[in-house]
């Protein structure tokens, strides 16, 4: 079983890397981009058989280590 954790900055938190990419896209002629937010994706291979229990455990991992919940949000997806 695989878990995919997407971590991204909360709305309102400055994202300098996203701003730089947004500016670069504009410089390349991609003018239809309103905003860019940069995040990270963490893929975990799990030895688990119960998707609900696995999701709960991965959420605990995210709260404890994978995301800085003061400034970041996350989503967890379990893929069987």
Q: What is the largest CA-CA distance in the chain?
A: 48
pLDDT in tens, 38-53: 999 999 999 999 999 9
Q: What value does the mean pLDDT of the chain take?
A: 97
Could you give the CA distance from residue 20 to residue 11 in angstroms, rounded to a whole number?
A: 17
Q: Which domains does the chain have, with CATH numbers?
A: 2-79 (3.30.1280.10)
- Note the pTM of the prediction, 2 decimals: 0.88
At residue 48, φ and ψ (nearest 5 deg) are -145, 155
What is the pLDDT at residue 20?
A: 98
């Amino acid at each position: 079983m695989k878990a995919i954790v997407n971590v991204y900055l909360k709305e309102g938190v400055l994202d300098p890397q996203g701003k730089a990419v947004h500016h670069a896209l504009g410089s390349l002629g991609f003018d239809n981009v309103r905003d860019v937010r940069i995040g990270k994706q963490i893929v975990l291979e799990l030895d688990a058989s119960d998707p609900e229990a696995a999701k709960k455990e991965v959420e605990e991992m995210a709260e404890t280590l994978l995301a800085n919940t003061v400034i970041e949000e996350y989503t967890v997806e379990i893929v069987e």
